A and B are shown apart, each in its own frame.
Chain A
């Protein structure tokens, strides 16, 4: 018995152990199966939620384009092209005085891919004289530079990334990454016992987890599936998952996932993940174009993206980068000469928040709003859509600079407390309705209140062209030379109050021809005209121009008591600029899937909503605003031969200062005022106008030169009487009238119908 007992005990013990082991094995199997499924699901499907990528409009380069070599170099720098005498790869250029050779990057445009190519752009003065392919000298009529990535649409606290394929990744990055992070990557099976042992010893010595023996595979698992807490249970989980991943996937697949997953920095609330976005975020160029020292910096960042943040801690980042370069050299990844060259380079990090970051938050805000009508939020933040917008970086740059500098200058010269003024501006293409530039406030990189879209401010005298346009649609009653009274008006409003509008200068100027009342922005003739045609009709005209708000048709409308955002003003002025053809404003041209499949297009749409004749007449009147009226100040910035049309706007007590107007192909609107709606002391002419004029000069103004429609005839009239004039009259003016509705009688000074030439001569000599 004494012998059986231990034996029974042994058997019992063995059975228990066996059962326990079996049960353990079952659990372990179940556990591993679960992990396995989790891993495969994660790897098989879409691995990341990809925010939509937003691109600016690509720059079209063509023979005849007005562009100086300096401007083209500026543009290439903006796109992260580098100067390289050998044009070694895409994204490089060689400038000289009259020619720039460019190795243009490939890009998948909406209408098809444009391959990488080397081109010689030759200049004749300030314009492009010819373009030729460098290889065979074949002439090229037109090509596009790759568009600038200007933002992405990620959830408010989301991850952002630009996916890369392993075959697009520079070999130095792969080798360097392995050298720094996981030397045994290509030989281990997911975990590295040697590395773990070394780490364990270190941790035991320290009494806590201080060092990770993590392989690249384990780091990927950690980022992919697990939280960041350093516990033993998590470590074990991680190791098993790493083993499983290695069973299913080859080293390249694992490495590719790692390259896209790794966290490389923070941009406000947006997390920068993966080397594709890292290259854009820090260096403003594609990954394939990185140089050794740039690769070294990114590899070095993995250890601590915020600790080594090159924008915040440049010295730390530089030391880390140089350490990584040393490893590159020691491992023979670069030679001594390349090492020396790389070491001598500065950090080279692109200034500020750029490289795909929210560089143009106000514009991207408009893009998002336009997309939301058509796409779900989830599509925008997850599907990696490619959004091609209308933003023109050159125009945007000019608008930003002029607003920022303009406000500071106004505050300085008019002794206004600094940083109290605000402004917003919009520039659109006159005929196509594309929003080319948008500024929402003087902090142009700051995504705050979007004044360009959301500030509803009374437009003041900007409404006057629409009052007079309504009148000019009645050619039997009004023409540009109709004499309007400038007399006090008192009006009992529907709610009983008495309304007695006055001119801005509190003066009366006597009867005025319609065009001059517009040019001088006199209030009383405008109210008189408005009352004749009716507030409903004026509001209807504004609606036909593209206004969609819910303003009331009250007499105060005639003086601009109608709230609009700068964008809305750009819409209604755009219809005037385009001869009565309304083009709904759009910030988007096309949307592609992440694989480059066309998804939707936002085509140019136009519709004639205002009659061509009266619109032509009002355009003529708006030219007089700048040539002889309240807008004369534009010629302080614009050359005297430039022809533009526009209107100043000032509201009660100088709370809002507006200028809106157009050249042949650009509509621009500027608003200046205060967020608290207090008076600024600025009229439209002293606040918004100088900014408007400088922007127009910067973007290269084309003369406003509308084609007279068949419904209009040009007549010479005597200024004194407004009747037909000819060589007999000395003070005359050529004015367009609706055909058949011009003055029919000759002015007293005119020869009139007198057919006998000698008699005319006699009259010329002796007078009447």
Chain B
């Protein structure tokens, strides 16, 4: 009995499958068809550029450490930045390690630690720590941009020209994408 009712409904609905009503009715159950643009954007809005691979297209990603971090970590990062600017990278690293003990997966902290290692001429660690930040960045373009700059500089100092140019390429892609309004 129930089946017949359902069948009736189905037949009724499939009858209008080609009409415009179909979408309105079916959308909740049906995933968007892969590879097909859903709707044509209004001509006044420019098309969003596709992000470089691995970069998240989600808008509203935190741009600065303060957008993501707690007050304590923000204070420690400010302290670290001051120390770094004053030419005291060891002090900066020390403050950043304190911050990491509080928020061990904060990509901004790892990113700044990479810069601190660069300033200490510890290039291998600068490269590794920036890679660690990338792994925690959830595809955040701003964090990754800084990290790839650090990585490029570290690889240049390590005498790894091919590694450096790959990193520079990534820097250019990210810069271009952000310039075109990506990530907004």
A430 touches B104 (CB 8 A): yes
Binds A, one of B7-15, B161-169, B174-182: B7-15
How far is it, in angstroms, between the C-alpha of A707 and the C-alpha of B139 when the chains are bound? 10
Residues 1 to 31 of chain B near chain A (Cβ within 8 Å): 3, 6-7, 10, 13-14, 17, 22, 26, 29-30
Cβ–Cβ contact A429 & B135, under 8 A: no
A188 within 8 A of B: no
Q: Which of A65, A432, A707 is in CB contact (< 8 Å) with B104?
A: A432
Any chain A CB within 8 A of the CB of B76? yes
B113 lies within 8 A of A604 (CB):
yes
B68: Cβ under 8 A from any A Cβ: no
Chain B interface residue bracket vs A: 35 or more
Task: Report how many residues on chain A are interfacial, defined by Cβ distance under 8 Å.
Answer: 41
- Say whether A606 contacts B128, CB under 8 Å: yes
Tell me whether B72 is interfacial, beta carbon within 8 Å: yes
State whether A707 and B3 are in contact (beta carbons under 8 Å apart), knowing that A60-B98, A664-B105, A755-B33 are contacts in the complex.
Answer: no
Q: How far is the CA of A474 from the CA of B10 in the complex (A)?
A: 46
Report A-chain residues with C-beta under 8 Å of the C-beta of B136. Answer: 707
User: A755 to B35, alpha carbons, bound, how many Å?
Assistant: 13
Chain A residues, Cβ within 8 Å of B125: 603, 605-606
How far apart are the CA atoms of A520 and B174 in the complex, in Å? 45
Stretch at the interface among B38-46, B57-65, B87-95, B149-157: B87-95
Enumerate chain A residues within 8 angstroms of B105, measured Cβ to Cβ.
431, 664-665, 707
A758 to B16: give the CA distance in the assembly, Å. 10
Residues of B within 8 A of A429 (CB): 101, 104
- Asked whether B170 is an interface residue with its Cβ less than 8 Å from the other chain, the reply is no
Is B135 touching A709 in the complex (CB atoms < 8 A)?
yes
B100 sits at the interface (CB 8 A): yes
Give the complex CA separation of A429 and B105 in angstroms. Answer: 12
| The residue from B26, B54, B102, B129 contacting A62, defined by CB atoms under 8 A apart | B102
Q: Which residues of B contact A612 (CB under 8 A)?
A: 135
Contacts of B94 in A (CB 8 A): 110-111, 590, 601
Out of A62, A111, A141, A758, name the residue touching B95 (CB < 8 Å). Answer: A111
State the main secondary structure of chain B at its contact with A.
helix
Q: Does B173 contact A (CB under 8 A)?
A: no
Q: Which residue on A lies nearest to B139, using beta carbons?
A: A710
Nearest CB of B to A97, in Å: 24
Q: How far is the CB of A223 from chain B (nearest CB, A)?
A: 40
A62 touches B71 (CB 8 A): yes
A656 to chain B, nearest CB (A): 31
Q: Tell me if B72 and A665 are in contact (CB < 8 A).
A: no
* B132 contact from A62, A581, A765, Cβ within 8 A: A581
- Render A737-768 as a binary contact track against B, CB cut-off 8 A, 1 for contact: 00000000000000000011110011001000
**Cβ contact within 8 Å between B10 and A758:** yes
Q: A492 at the A/B interface (Cβ < 8 Å)?
A: no
Q: Is the CB of B70 within 8 A of A64?
A: yes
User: Which residues of B lie under 8 Å from residue A63 when comparing CB positions?
Assistant: 70-72
Residue of A63, A141, A430, A432 ringed by the most chain B CB atoms within 10 A:
A141
| B20 CB to nearest chain A CB (Å) | 15
Contact A707 B138 (CB under 8 A): yes
**Which residue of chain A has its CB nearest to the CB of B33?**
A755
- Does B121 belong to the interface (CB within 8 Å)? no
Contact A64 B72 (CB under 8 A): yes
Min CB distance A407 to B, Å, is 30
CB neighbours of A765 from chain B (8 A) = 3, 6-7, 10
Q: How far is the CB of A652 from chain B (nearest CB, A)?
A: 37
Residue numbers in A under 8 Å from B91 (CB-CB): 111-112
A57-80 CB contacts (< 8 Å) to partner B: 60, 62-65
Chain A residues near B139: list those with CB within 8 A.
Answer: 710
> Does any Cβ of A come within 8 Å of B118's Cβ?
no
Q: Which one, A111, A142, A762, contacts B10 given CB within 8 A?
A: A762
Q: Is A607 an interface residue (CB 8 A)?
A: yes
Write the chain B residue with the least CB distance to A759.
Answer: B14
Q: Which residues of A contact B124 (CB under 8 A)?
A: 607
Shortest distance from the beta carbon of B22 to any chain A beta carbon, whole Å: 8
A418 to B131, CA, bound (A): 50
Q: List 8 A-B contacts (CB under 8 A).
A: A64-B72, A142-B75, A430-B104, A601-B94, A707-B136, A710-B53, A757-B26, A758-B10
Besides the known contacts A141-B74, A758-B13, 7 further A-B residue pairs in the complex with CB atoms under 8 A apart? A62-B71, A62-B72, A65-B72, A111-B94, A581-B135, A601-B94, A765-B3
A interface residues with partner B (beta carbon < 8 Å): 60, 62-65, 110-112, 141-142, 429-432, 434, 579, 581, 589-590, 598, 601, 603-608, 612, 664-665, 707, 709-710, 727, 755-758, 761-762, 765
